[in-house]
């Protein structure tokens, strides 16, 4: 009798284990299908507007490539782009590998005279898999080299100061931002690339943004965008002369 009971429960265990494995496989298959459909690089965001004749016929003085800091610029100061023949190609949350994927579509194919690259803070925040500060810098270098190879003047922006992430409070970014900016500036000097140093103009001397320039320690207020607009416009104007 005891033997039969043992066999019965052993059978139930095997059936249960098989069912659990089967469910895991189904879940994994669903995850795989979702990943296949995911627009990880953000190519869909601007693909339609990029193909409009109005955009293709216009040769912008600059494309601004970036994340939510760049994207929000058009929301706070939309006239800055329309009045200066600039195009905004920022996507909130993006990291440098995602920008690199869409760089040809959203920058090179628009044939701008210059590109203003502001990137890296979301990499430090671990929005996607974090590799190293060096890899973040190299992704930006790759964008610069793609631009130069296509006759586009690259402008590397320093990462803005940041000493906290509201969405990831376990990471303290100030030291990483400084390290990344040192790599970017060194590369710019060695390769004769323009380096737009927002950091020194916006730093609160503690590694963060000045209070009046930020809403949450990372994103920029209207006053912050006004300062960035002044600096970037001067750089673009000098670059394309």
> Which sequence spans correspond to the domains of the chain?
1-38, 43-240
Residues 7-35, buried b or exposed e (16+ Cβ, 10 A)? eeeeeeeeeeeeeeeeeeeeeeeeeeeee
Structure tokens at 211: 């209070």
pLDDT attached to residue 177: 98
170 vs 32, higher pLDDT: 170
Q: How much of the chain, in percent, has pLDDT values that exceed 70?
A: 86
What would the pLDDT profile of 54-93 be if each residue is shown by its tens digit?
Answer: 666 789 999 999 999 999 999 999 999 999 999 999 999 9
Structure tokens at 124: 């430090």
| Whether residue 174 has pLDDT greater than 80 | yes
Q: Average pLDDT for residues 164-182, to the nearest whole number?
A: 95
pLDDT attached to residue 150: 98
pLDDT attached to residue 57: 77
CATH of 43-240, one of 1.25.40.20, 3.30.750.24, 3.40.50.1110, 3.40.50.300: 3.40.50.1110
pLDDT attached to residue 36: 75
With tokens 């090179």, the residue in question is: 108
Which of 43, 55, 119 lies closest to 87 in space, CA to CA? 55
| Whether residue 235 has pLDDT greater than 80 | yes
| Whether residue 30 has pLDDT greater than 80 | no
Q: Kindly report the average pLDDT of the chain as a whole number.
A: 91
With tokens 């931002």, the residue in question is: 177
Q: Average pLDDT for residues 150-157, to the nearest whole number?
A: 98
Please give the radius of gyration of the chain, using alpha carbons only, rounded to the nearest integer: 23
pLDDT attached to residue 139: 98
- Report d(CA 99, CA 114) in Å as an integer: 16
Three-class SS of residue 56? helix
Strands in 114-118's sheet, in edge-to-edge order, are: 86-90, 62-66, 114-118, 153-157, 194-196
Which of 55, 35, 37 lies closest to 47 in space, CA to CA? 55
């Amino acid at each position: 009798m005891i033997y039969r009971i043992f066999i019965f429960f052993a059978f139930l265990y095997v059936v249960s284990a098989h069912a659990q494995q089967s469910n895991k496989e189904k879940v994994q298959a669903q995850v795989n299908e979702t990943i296949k459909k995911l627009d990880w690089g953000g190519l869909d965001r601007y693909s339609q507007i990029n193909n409009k004749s109005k955009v293709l016929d216009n040769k912008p003085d600059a494309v601004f490539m970036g994340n939510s800091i760049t994207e929000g610029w058009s929301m706070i100061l939309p006239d800055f782009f329309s009045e200066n023949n600039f195009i905004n190609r920022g996507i909130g949350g993006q990291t440098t590998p995602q920008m690199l994927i869409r760089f040809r579509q959203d920058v090179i194919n628009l044939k701008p005279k210059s590109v203003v690259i502001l990137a890296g803070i979301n990499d430090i925040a671990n929005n996607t898999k974090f590799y190293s500060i060096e890899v973040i810098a190299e992704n930006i270098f790759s964008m610069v080299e793609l631009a130069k190879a296509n006759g586009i003047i690259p402008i590397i922006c320093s990462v803005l100061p940041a000493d906290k992430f509201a969405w990831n409070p376990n990471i303290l970014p100030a030291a990483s931002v400084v390290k990344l900016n040192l790599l970017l500036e060194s590369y710019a000097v060695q390769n004769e690339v323009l380096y737009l140093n927002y950091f020194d103009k916006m730093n609160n001397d503690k590694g963060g943004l000045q209070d009046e320039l930020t809403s949450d320690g990372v994103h920029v207020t209207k006053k912050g965008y006004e300062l960035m607009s002044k600096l970037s416009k001067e750089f673009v104007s000098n670059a394309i002369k």
